[in-house]
Amino acid sequence: MEDSFIQIETTLKQNIEDVKKLAGFDNVILDFSISAIRDLQGKLSKIDINNPNLMASTTLTMLENIRSNKSLRPQYETIFNQCVVLQVSVFASSVGDLFRSAIDILIDTGKSNELKDEEFKLSVRELEEFEYRLDGRIGQLVAEKNDISFQDMKSINRAFRKYFSVSIPKDEITNNIIIAQAARNVIVHDAAACNDRLRKQVSGAIPRDIKSNLSDIQRIQFDPNEI
């Protein structure tokens, strides 16, 4: 049991780090370019060249200024928003894996009256897909048959409270996740528009340290620090 939970957590952490690396993609490219140009400049400086236009110092200075001033960041705004979409997806995947694994553990231990009274309607086609074996599949069935969304904190909270008697604390971390989930929907479905529906959806997600004030924002735009 513990091993499966640790693996889920490890996978989530790795996926989050991968998304963070994607958010810093411009810096990766610039750092590589600056290093290569600096190396070239070092080699050219050892050659007797009288024309400064043939040196790499100007290009090196330009790239260093771009790196320092983050001049290319506006060109990456779409990537930053899509990083949030990815973050929400990997979080939902991990919470879903956690839920399904925990349900299967409850089945094995027989400690949940809620699960004992759970009823499913399965077609023969579904049974064929499961190869007529439901061991290790109950968690999946519970999630699917109850339309549990792991991209919605209210749905997650209801599911964990119902089956595990666990209430997710309403703190800053949870509220940050709520704004990310809500933003993910408008990024994917409404061109990142900050509309009244979004504002209403996250009005109760206070306190939070990400997008704490949406009143004057017309379009959701994340930066790497928020990711």
- Across the chain, mean pLDDT equals 88
**78-108: burial string, b at 16+ Cβ within 10 Å, e else:** ebbbbbbbbbbebbbbbbbbbbbbbbbebbe
Q: Work out the pLDDT band at 72, boundaries 50, 70, 90.
A: confident
Q: Is the pLDDT of residue 19 over 90?
A: yes
Strand partners, 219: 193
pLDDT digits 0-9 by tens, 101-159: 999 888 877 776 777 777 888 888 888 887 878 777 888 888 988 899 999 999 999 99
- Domain edges within the chain: 2-75
Instruction: Place 51 in a pLDDT band, splitting at 50, 70 and 90.
Output: confident
pLDDT at position 206 over 70: yes
Alpha helices in 110-222 (DSSP H): 113-116, 124-129, 138-145, 153-164, 172-189, 196-201
Instruction: Express each pLDDT in 132-147 by its tens digit.
Output: 787 778 888 889 888 9
What CA–CA distance (Å, rounded) separates 32 from 46?
Answer: 22
* Residue 171 DSSP one-character state: S
